[in-house]
Structure 1
Protein backbone atom coordinates (compact mmCIF):
# COMPACT_ATOMS: atom_id res chain seq x y z
CA UNK A 1 0.00 0.00 0.00
CA UNK A 2 2.80 2.42 0.95
CA UNK A 3 4.59 1.70 -2.32
CA UNK A 4 1.42 2.55 -4.25
CA UNK A 5 1.07 5.89 -2.43
CA UNK A 6 4.71 6.79 -3.12
CA UNK A 7 4.23 5.89 -6.77
CA UNK A 8 1.15 8.10 -7.03
CA UNK A 9 3.00 11.05 -5.44
CA UNK A 10 5.90 10.68 -7.88
CA UNK A 11 3.53 10.54 -10.85
CA UNK A 12 1.74 13.67 -9.64
CA UNK A 13 5.00 15.63 -9.16
CA UNK A 14 6.40 14.58 -12.50
CA UNK A 15 3.15 15.56 -14.22
CA UNK A 16 3.18 19.01 -12.58
CA UNK A 17 6.80 19.58 -13.61
CA UNK A 18 6.04 18.46 -17.13
CA UNK A 19 3.08 20.85 -17.40
CA UNK A 20 5.19 23.79 -16.18
CA UNK A 21 7.95 22.92 -18.62
CA UNK A 22 5.39 22.71 -21.42
CA UNK A 23 4.23 26.25 -20.59
CA UNK A 24 7.83 27.48 -20.77
CA UNK A 25 8.49 25.62 -24.00
CA UNK A 26 5.39 27.07 -25.61
CA UNK A 27 6.35 30.65 -24.88
CA UNK A 28 7.21 32.65 -28.03
CA UNK A 29 10.68 32.60 -29.51
CA UNK A 30 12.88 35.63 -30.04
CA UNK A 31 12.40 35.63 -33.77
CA UNK A 32 9.96 38.51 -33.56
CA UNK A 33 7.43 36.66 -35.70
CA UNK A 34 5.26 35.74 -32.73
CA UNK A 35 2.66 38.37 -31.74
CA UNK A 36 3.42 37.90 -28.04
CA UNK A 37 6.60 39.79 -27.20
CA UNK A 38 7.34 38.52 -23.71
CA UNK A 39 10.42 40.62 -23.10
CA UNK A 40 8.65 43.69 -24.44
CA UNK A 41 5.75 43.10 -22.08
CA UNK A 42 8.03 42.85 -19.07
CA UNK A 43 9.83 46.01 -20.14
CA UNK A 44 6.50 47.80 -20.34
CA UNK A 45 5.53 46.56 -16.88
CA UNK A 46 8.76 47.83 -15.33
CA UNK A 47 8.59 51.10 -17.25
CA UNK A 48 5.08 51.57 -15.88
CA UNK A 49 6.26 50.92 -12.33
CA UNK A 50 9.08 53.42 -12.73
CA UNK A 51 6.88 56.06 -14.31
CA UNK A 52 3.84 55.61 -12.06
CA UNK A 53 5.36 54.79 -8.69
CA UNK A 54 9.00 55.87 -8.53
CA UNK A 55 8.17 59.30 -9.90
CA UNK A 56 5.91 59.84 -6.87
CA UNK A 57 8.92 59.49 -4.60
CA UNK A 58 10.67 62.45 -6.22
CA UNK A 59 7.88 64.83 -5.24
CA UNK A 60 7.80 66.81 -2.02
CA UNK A 61 6.70 64.46 0.77
CA UNK A 62 7.04 61.52 -1.64
CA UNK A 63 8.83 59.65 1.15
CA UNK A 64 7.85 61.66 4.19
CA UNK A 65 4.07 61.23 3.80
CA UNK A 66 4.10 57.75 2.26
CA UNK A 67 3.86 55.23 5.11
CA UNK A 68 5.08 52.41 2.84
CA UNK A 69 8.50 54.01 2.40
CA UNK A 70 8.82 56.78 4.97
CA UNK A 71 12.36 56.74 6.34
CA UNK A 72 12.36 56.39 10.09
CA UNK A 73 15.35 56.92 12.32
CA UNK A 74 17.96 54.17 12.71
CA UNK A 75 17.92 52.37 16.04
CA UNK A 76 20.89 54.37 17.29
CA UNK A 77 18.99 57.62 16.78
CA UNK A 78 15.62 56.51 18.12
CA UNK A 79 16.92 57.13 21.62
CA UNK A 80 18.04 60.57 20.45
CA UNK A 81 14.56 61.31 19.16
CA UNK A 82 12.94 60.13 22.39
CA UNK A 83 15.33 62.11 24.57
CA UNK A 84 14.74 65.33 22.63
CA UNK A 85 10.97 64.93 22.87
CA UNK A 86 11.24 64.24 26.60
CA UNK A 87 12.96 67.59 27.16
CA UNK A 88 10.48 69.55 25.03
CA UNK A 89 12.32 69.60 21.69
CA UNK A 90 9.73 67.74 19.61
CA UNK A 91 9.86 70.30 16.79
CA UNK A 92 13.61 69.79 16.43
CA UNK A 93 13.11 66.01 16.36
CA UNK A 94 10.40 66.41 13.69
CA UNK A 95 12.71 68.55 11.59
CA UNK A 96 15.42 65.91 11.78
CA UNK A 97 13.08 63.22 10.48
CA UNK A 98 11.68 65.43 7.75
CA UNK A 99 15.01 66.45 6.25
CA UNK A 100 16.36 62.92 5.85
CA UNK A 101 13.23 62.10 3.85
CA UNK A 102 13.74 65.26 1.78
CA UNK A 103 17.24 64.09 0.89
CA UNK A 104 15.88 60.74 -0.29
CA UNK A 105 13.26 62.47 -2.45
CA UNK A 106 16.02 64.49 -4.03
CA UNK A 107 18.21 61.47 -4.73
CA UNK A 108 15.54 59.35 -6.43
CA UNK A 109 15.49 61.83 -9.31
CA UNK A 110 18.80 60.28 -10.35
CA UNK A 111 17.36 56.77 -10.60
CA UNK A 112 15.40 56.84 -13.86
CA UNK A 113 18.31 56.69 -16.36
CA UNK A 114 19.84 53.72 -14.52
CA UNK A 115 16.50 51.92 -14.47
CA UNK A 116 15.91 52.57 -18.16
CA UNK A 117 19.24 50.99 -19.09
CA UNK A 118 18.51 47.94 -16.92
CA UNK A 119 15.06 47.49 -18.41
CA UNK A 120 16.46 47.63 -21.94
CA UNK A 121 18.80 44.74 -21.09
CA UNK A 122 16.04 42.24 -20.28
CA UNK A 123 16.56 39.16 -22.44
CA UNK A 124 13.95 36.68 -23.60
CA UNK A 125 15.32 34.12 -21.14
CA UNK A 126 15.09 36.66 -18.28
CA UNK A 127 11.54 37.49 -19.31
CA UNK A 128 10.34 33.88 -19.23
CA UNK A 129 11.73 33.40 -15.73
CA UNK A 130 10.20 36.66 -14.55
CA UNK A 131 6.80 35.91 -16.05
CA UNK A 132 6.56 32.55 -14.31
CA UNK A 133 8.12 33.88 -11.09
CA UNK A 134 6.62 35.27 -7.91
CA UNK A 135 4.86 38.62 -7.44
CA UNK A 136 8.22 40.43 -7.14
CA UNK A 137 10.19 38.58 -9.81
CA UNK A 138 10.52 41.61 -12.10
CA UNK A 139 11.36 43.90 -9.19
CA UNK A 140 13.98 41.44 -7.92
CA UNK A 141 15.52 41.31 -11.40
CA UNK A 142 15.71 45.09 -11.49
CA UNK A 143 17.17 45.25 -7.99
CA UNK A 144 19.91 42.77 -8.86
CA UNK A 145 20.79 44.75 -11.96
CA UNK A 146 20.72 48.25 -10.46
CA UNK A 147 21.36 48.18 -6.71
CA UNK A 148 25.12 48.89 -6.83
CA UNK A 149 24.83 51.56 -9.52
CA UNK A 150 21.97 53.27 -7.68
CA UNK A 151 23.83 53.25 -4.36
CA UNK A 152 26.83 54.89 -6.02
CA UNK A 153 24.56 57.45 -7.63
CA UNK A 154 22.36 58.10 -4.58
CA UNK A 155 25.08 58.40 -1.95
CA UNK A 156 26.76 61.61 -3.16
CA UNK A 157 23.39 63.14 -4.08
CA UNK A 158 22.09 62.51 -0.58
CA UNK A 159 25.27 63.92 0.92
CA UNK A 160 24.84 67.08 -1.17
CA UNK A 161 21.12 67.16 -0.42
CA UNK A 162 21.84 67.21 3.29
CA UNK A 163 23.54 70.53 2.68
CA UNK A 164 20.86 71.80 0.32
CA UNK A 165 17.87 71.00 2.52
CA UNK A 166 19.71 71.95 5.70
CA UNK A 167 19.87 68.42 7.06
CA UNK A 168 23.53 68.61 7.97
CA UNK A 169 23.02 71.72 10.06
CA UNK A 170 19.85 70.37 11.69
CA UNK A 171 21.44 67.04 12.54
CA UNK A 172 24.62 68.66 13.82
CA UNK A 173 22.38 70.66 16.15
CA UNK A 174 20.37 67.56 17.13
CA UNK A 175 23.45 65.46 17.84
CA UNK A 176 25.14 68.27 19.78
CA UNK A 177 22.01 68.86 21.88
CA UNK A 178 21.67 65.14 22.59
CA UNK A 179 25.34 64.65 23.40
CA UNK A 180 25.13 67.52 25.86
CA UNK A 181 22.47 65.72 27.92
CA UNK A 182 24.15 64.40 31.09
CA UNK A 183 24.96 60.67 31.30
CA UNK A 184 23.96 59.72 27.70
CA UNK A 185 26.15 57.62 25.43
CA UNK A 186 27.27 59.97 22.70
CA UNK A 187 26.37 59.19 19.08
CA UNK A 188 27.85 60.08 15.71
CA UNK A 189 25.93 58.07 13.07
CA UNK A 190 26.67 57.81 9.33
CA UNK A 191 23.35 59.21 8.20
CA UNK A 192 24.34 59.43 4.53
CA UNK A 193 24.84 55.66 4.23
CA UNK A 194 21.70 54.93 6.22
CA UNK A 195 19.45 57.23 4.18
CA UNK A 196 20.95 55.94 0.92
CA UNK A 197 20.03 52.35 1.78
CA UNK A 198 16.57 53.33 3.01
CA UNK A 199 15.93 55.30 -0.19
CA UNK A 200 16.87 52.23 -2.25
CA UNK A 201 14.48 50.06 -0.26
CA UNK A 202 11.70 52.58 -0.87
CA UNK A 203 12.30 52.67 -4.61
CA UNK A 204 12.14 48.89 -5.01
CA UNK A 205 9.13 48.63 -2.72
CA UNK A 206 7.11 51.03 -4.89
CA UNK A 207 8.09 49.18 -8.09
CA UNK A 208 6.96 45.95 -6.43
CA UNK A 209 3.60 47.56 -5.65
CA UNK A 210 3.00 48.27 -9.33
CA UNK A 211 4.26 44.86 -10.43
CA UNK A 212 1.78 43.15 -8.11
CA UNK A 213 -1.03 45.35 -9.43
CA UNK A 214 -0.24 44.34 -13.00
CA UNK A 215 -0.01 40.66 -12.09
CA UNK A 216 -3.20 40.61 -10.01
CA UNK A 217 -5.49 43.12 -11.71
CA UNK A 218 -6.41 42.99 -15.37
CA UNK A 219 -7.48 46.64 -15.10
CA UNK A 220 -3.85 47.60 -14.34
CA UNK A 221 -2.68 46.17 -17.67
CA UNK A 222 -3.09 49.37 -19.61
CA UNK A 223 -1.70 48.29 -22.98
CA UNK A 224 -2.58 45.47 -25.35
CA UNK A 225 0.88 43.98 -24.91
CA UNK A 226 0.60 43.91 -21.13
CA UNK A 227 -2.79 42.20 -21.41
CA UNK A 228 -1.44 39.56 -23.80
CA UNK A 229 1.71 38.82 -21.86
CA UNK A 230 0.33 38.71 -18.34
CA UNK A 231 -2.68 36.68 -19.41
CA UNK A 232 -0.18 33.83 -19.75
CA UNK A 233 0.52 33.84 -16.00
CA UNK A 234 -3.13 34.12 -14.90
Structure 2
Protein backbone atom coordinates (compact mmCIF):
# COMPACT_ATOMS: atom_id res chain seq x y z
CA UNK A 1 0.00 0.00 0.00
CA UNK A 2 2.85 2.37 0.84
CA UNK A 3 4.43 1.62 -2.54
CA UNK A 4 1.16 2.39 -4.30
CA UNK A 5 0.91 5.69 -2.41
CA UNK A 6 4.46 6.71 -3.39
CA UNK A 7 3.84 5.78 -7.02
CA UNK A 8 0.60 7.77 -7.08
CA UNK A 9 2.36 10.78 -5.56
CA UNK A 10 5.21 10.53 -8.03
CA UNK A 11 2.82 10.43 -10.94
CA UNK A 12 0.94 13.42 -9.57
CA UNK A 13 4.14 15.45 -9.18
CA UNK A 14 5.22 14.51 -12.68
CA UNK A 15 1.86 15.60 -14.04
CA UNK A 16 2.09 18.93 -12.25
CA UNK A 17 5.59 19.48 -13.61
CA UNK A 18 4.43 18.80 -17.14
CA UNK A 19 1.57 21.25 -16.67
CA UNK A 20 3.92 23.88 -15.27
CA UNK A 21 6.39 23.25 -18.08
CA UNK A 22 3.62 23.62 -20.63
CA UNK A 23 2.61 26.94 -19.14
CA UNK A 24 6.12 28.37 -19.15
CA UNK A 25 7.06 27.26 -22.66
CA UNK A 26 3.93 28.45 -24.43
CA UNK A 27 4.26 31.83 -26.07
CA UNK A 28 1.91 33.67 -28.40
CA UNK A 29 2.66 35.88 -31.38
CA UNK A 30 1.14 38.80 -29.50
CA UNK A 31 3.60 38.26 -26.65
CA UNK A 32 6.53 38.04 -29.06
CA UNK A 33 5.59 41.37 -30.65
CA UNK A 34 5.03 42.96 -27.25
CA UNK A 35 8.35 41.70 -25.92
CA UNK A 36 10.34 42.84 -28.94
CA UNK A 37 8.72 46.27 -28.91
CA UNK A 38 9.48 46.65 -25.23
CA UNK A 39 13.09 45.56 -25.72
CA UNK A 40 13.58 48.11 -28.49
CA UNK A 41 11.90 50.87 -26.50
CA UNK A 42 14.19 50.21 -23.54
CA UNK A 43 17.23 50.03 -25.79
CA UNK A 44 16.37 53.24 -27.62
CA UNK A 45 15.63 55.09 -24.40
CA UNK A 46 18.82 53.94 -22.68
CA UNK A 47 21.01 54.60 -25.72
CA UNK A 48 19.73 58.10 -26.40
CA UNK A 49 19.77 58.89 -22.69
CA UNK A 50 23.43 57.92 -22.35
CA UNK A 51 24.58 59.81 -25.44
CA UNK A 52 22.54 63.01 -25.20
CA UNK A 53 24.17 64.23 -21.98
CA UNK A 54 27.29 66.38 -21.80
CA UNK A 55 30.31 64.21 -22.66
CA UNK A 56 28.03 61.37 -23.79
CA UNK A 57 30.06 61.25 -26.99
CA UNK A 58 33.16 63.22 -26.10
CA UNK A 59 34.26 61.13 -23.09
CA UNK A 60 33.39 57.78 -24.67
CA UNK A 61 36.16 56.25 -26.77
CA UNK A 62 33.71 53.90 -28.51
CA UNK A 63 31.64 56.68 -30.08
CA UNK A 64 33.74 59.83 -29.79
CA UNK A 65 33.65 61.84 -33.00
CA UNK A 66 37.21 62.30 -34.20
CA UNK A 67 38.55 64.02 -37.28
CA UNK A 68 37.44 62.18 -40.44
CA UNK A 69 39.97 59.88 -42.12
CA UNK A 70 40.36 62.21 -45.08
CA UNK A 71 41.39 64.94 -42.62
CA UNK A 72 43.99 62.84 -40.78
CA UNK A 73 46.79 64.54 -42.66
CA UNK A 74 45.37 67.91 -41.68
CA UNK A 75 45.30 66.96 -38.00
CA UNK A 76 48.79 65.48 -38.01
CA UNK A 77 50.28 68.47 -39.79
CA UNK A 78 48.70 71.02 -37.44
CA UNK A 79 49.78 69.09 -34.35
CA UNK A 80 53.33 68.81 -35.67
CA UNK A 81 53.60 72.58 -36.10
CA UNK A 82 52.14 73.34 -32.67
CA UNK A 83 48.59 74.18 -33.78
CA UNK A 84 46.84 71.22 -32.16
CA UNK A 85 44.57 73.55 -30.17
CA UNK A 86 42.62 74.29 -33.36
CA UNK A 87 41.99 70.58 -33.86
CA UNK A 88 41.06 70.01 -30.21
CA UNK A 89 38.44 72.76 -30.33
CA UNK A 90 36.96 71.32 -33.51
CA UNK A 91 36.77 67.80 -32.05
CA UNK A 92 35.10 68.98 -28.84
CA UNK A 93 32.58 71.04 -30.80
CA UNK A 94 31.72 68.12 -33.11
CA UNK A 95 30.98 65.91 -30.11
CA UNK A 96 28.84 68.57 -28.48
CA UNK A 97 26.79 68.71 -31.68
CA UNK A 98 26.35 64.94 -31.67
CA UNK A 99 25.20 65.05 -28.05
CA UNK A 100 22.67 67.75 -28.92
CA UNK A 101 21.23 65.69 -31.75
CA UNK A 102 21.05 62.30 -30.02
CA UNK A 103 17.83 63.07 -28.16
CA UNK A 104 16.06 63.68 -31.48
CA UNK A 105 16.24 59.96 -32.25
CA UNK A 106 13.89 58.74 -29.52
CA UNK A 107 10.48 59.74 -31.00
CA UNK A 108 11.55 58.46 -34.43
CA UNK A 109 12.50 55.12 -32.92
CA UNK A 110 9.24 54.87 -31.01
CA UNK A 111 7.25 55.52 -34.18
CA UNK A 112 9.12 52.75 -36.03
CA UNK A 113 8.70 50.33 -33.12
CA UNK A 114 4.94 50.91 -33.09
CA UNK A 115 4.70 49.64 -36.66
CA UNK A 116 6.37 46.28 -35.97
CA UNK A 117 4.47 43.31 -37.40
CA UNK A 118 4.25 39.71 -36.20
CA UNK A 119 6.51 38.62 -39.07
CA UNK A 120 9.04 41.31 -38.14
CA UNK A 121 9.03 40.22 -34.50
CA UNK A 122 9.41 36.49 -35.17
CA UNK A 123 12.30 37.17 -37.56
CA UNK A 124 13.98 39.39 -34.97
CA UNK A 125 13.53 36.87 -32.15
CA UNK A 126 15.14 34.13 -34.23
CA UNK A 127 17.87 36.42 -35.54
CA UNK A 128 21.33 37.42 -34.40
CA UNK A 129 22.11 39.34 -31.22
CA UNK A 130 21.62 42.66 -33.05
CA UNK A 131 18.63 41.64 -35.21
CA UNK A 132 16.31 44.14 -33.49
CA UNK A 133 18.87 46.90 -33.88
CA UNK A 134 19.28 46.13 -37.58
CA UNK A 135 15.49 46.18 -38.00
CA UNK A 136 15.35 49.59 -36.35
CA UNK A 137 18.27 50.84 -38.42
CA UNK A 138 16.59 49.78 -41.65
CA UNK A 139 13.33 51.44 -40.68
CA UNK A 140 14.71 54.72 -39.36
CA UNK A 141 18.07 55.59 -40.96
CA UNK A 142 16.71 57.85 -43.69
CA UNK A 143 14.32 59.64 -41.33
CA UNK A 144 16.98 59.98 -38.64
CA UNK A 145 19.47 61.45 -41.10
CA UNK A 146 16.88 64.00 -42.21
CA UNK A 147 16.07 64.84 -38.58
CA UNK A 148 19.68 64.94 -37.40
CA UNK A 149 21.14 67.12 -40.15
CA UNK A 150 19.43 70.41 -39.23
CA UNK A 151 19.99 69.77 -35.52
CA UNK A 152 23.64 68.93 -36.10
CA UNK A 153 24.04 71.98 -38.32
CA UNK A 154 22.46 74.28 -35.73
CA UNK A 155 24.47 72.67 -32.94
CA UNK A 156 27.70 73.02 -34.87
CA UNK A 157 26.99 76.71 -35.25
CA UNK A 158 25.93 77.05 -31.61
CA UNK A 159 29.13 75.52 -30.26
CA UNK A 160 31.29 77.31 -32.85
CA UNK A 161 32.27 74.04 -34.55
CA UNK A 162 31.76 75.57 -37.97
CA UNK A 163 34.12 78.38 -36.98
CA UNK A 164 36.73 76.01 -35.56
CA UNK A 165 36.43 73.71 -38.56
CA UNK A 166 36.92 76.62 -40.95
CA UNK A 167 39.93 77.75 -38.92
CA UNK A 168 41.47 74.27 -39.04
CA UNK A 169 41.27 74.05 -42.80
CA UNK A 170 42.12 77.67 -43.39
CA UNK A 171 45.30 77.28 -41.38
CA UNK A 172 46.12 73.95 -43.03
CA UNK A 173 45.33 75.06 -46.56
CA UNK A 174 47.55 78.11 -46.11
CA UNK A 175 50.57 76.10 -44.98
CA UNK A 176 53.38 76.20 -47.58
CA UNK A 177 53.63 72.38 -47.54
CA UNK A 178 49.96 71.84 -48.39
CA UNK A 179 49.46 70.31 -51.82
CA UNK A 180 45.85 69.08 -51.68
CA UNK A 181 43.15 71.34 -50.29
CA UNK A 182 40.80 69.48 -47.89
CA UNK A 183 37.41 70.50 -46.53
CA UNK A 184 34.93 67.60 -46.10
CA UNK A 185 31.24 68.17 -45.35
CA UNK A 186 31.24 68.69 -41.59
CA UNK A 187 27.48 68.35 -41.05
CA UNK A 188 27.25 65.11 -43.03
CA UNK A 189 30.25 63.65 -41.25
CA UNK A 190 29.06 64.44 -37.71
CA UNK A 191 25.53 63.26 -38.56
CA UNK A 192 26.88 59.91 -39.71
CA UNK A 193 29.08 59.49 -36.64
CA UNK A 194 26.24 60.44 -34.29
CA UNK A 195 23.92 57.86 -35.83
CA UNK A 196 26.61 55.19 -35.65
CA UNK A 197 27.00 55.89 -31.95
CA UNK A 198 23.28 55.66 -31.26
CA UNK A 199 22.94 52.32 -33.06
CA UNK A 200 26.06 50.96 -31.38
CA UNK A 201 24.48 51.48 -27.99
CA UNK A 202 21.08 50.17 -29.00
CA UNK A 203 22.85 46.99 -30.13
CA UNK A 204 24.61 46.81 -26.76
CA UNK A 205 21.29 47.16 -24.93
CA UNK A 206 19.73 44.48 -27.13
CA UNK A 207 22.60 42.12 -26.41
CA UNK A 208 22.11 42.58 -22.67
CA UNK A 209 18.42 41.69 -22.87
CA UNK A 210 19.06 38.67 -25.06
CA UNK A 211 21.94 37.24 -23.04
CA UNK A 212 21.58 38.50 -19.47
CA UNK A 213 18.43 37.46 -17.56
CA UNK A 214 19.03 40.29 -15.09
CA UNK A 215 18.49 42.81 -17.91
CA UNK A 216 14.97 41.48 -18.58
CA UNK A 217 13.28 43.88 -16.23
CA UNK A 218 9.64 43.05 -17.05
CA UNK A 219 7.61 39.83 -17.11
CA UNK A 220 7.10 39.94 -20.87
CA UNK A 221 10.85 40.36 -21.49
CA UNK A 222 11.58 37.41 -19.22
CA UNK A 223 9.05 35.27 -21.05
CA UNK A 224 9.97 36.18 -24.62
CA UNK A 225 13.75 36.16 -24.25
CA UNK A 226 13.80 33.25 -21.87
CA UNK A 227 11.68 31.12 -24.18
CA UNK A 228 13.33 27.84 -25.11
CA UNK A 229 16.33 28.47 -22.82
TM range (shorter): 0.7 to 0.9
Residues 116-175 of structure 1: CA deviation (Å, up to 9, x unaligned) = 101111111111111110000000000000000000000111111111011011111111
Q: List runs of 5+ in structure 1 lacking aligned partners.
A: 1-25, 31-36
CA contact (8 A) 1:154 1:196 kept: yes
Is 1:93 aligned to residue 87 of structure 2? yes
The residue that corresponds to 2:18 in the other structure is none
Choose which of 149, 169, 172 in structure 2 pairs with 1:175: 169
Aligned partner of residue 135 in structure 1, secondary structure: coil
Q: Quick one: structure 1 residues 29 and 97, their matched pair in 2 at CA, closer, same or farther if it must change by over 3 Å?
A: closer
CA distance in 2, matches of 1:227, 1:158: 38
CA contact (8 A) 2:173 2:181 kept: yes
Q: Quick one: structure 1 residues 140 and 179, their matched pair in 2 at CA, closer, same or farther if it must change by over 3 Å?
A: same
TM-score scaled by length of structure 2: 0.85
CA contact (8 A) 2:27 2:224 kept: no
* Rg comparison, structure with higher value: 2
Alignment of 1:66-145 (within 5 A): 66-145=60-139
Choose which of 50, 56, 59 in structure 2 pairs with 1:65: 59
The residue that corresponds to 1:198 in the other structure is 193
Is 1:148 aligned to residue 165 of structure 2? no
Q: Per-residue deviation at 1:53? A: 2.0
Q: Per-residue deviation at 1:183? A: 2.5
Aligned partner of residue 64 in structure 2, secondary structure: coil
Q: Per-residue deviation at 1:200? A: 0.9
Give 4+ residue runs of structure 1 displaced > 6 Å after superposition.
Answer: none
Is 1:159 aligned to residue 148 of structure 2? no
CA distance in 2, matches of 1:172, 1:103: 16
The residue that corresponds to 1:226 in the other structure is 221
Choose which of 45, 62, 66 in structure 2 pairs with 1:51: 45
Q: Per-residue deviation at 1:66? A: 1.1
CA distance in 2, matches of 1:233, 1:91: 56
* Matched residue count: 203
Q: Per-residue deviation at 1:29? A: 3.8
TM-score scaled by length of structure 1: 0.84
Q: Per-residue deviation at 1:95? A: 1.0
The residue that corresponds to 1:8 in the other structure is none
Residues 24-54 of structure 1: CA deviation (Å, up to 9, x unaligned) = xx75244xxxxxx111101111111112122
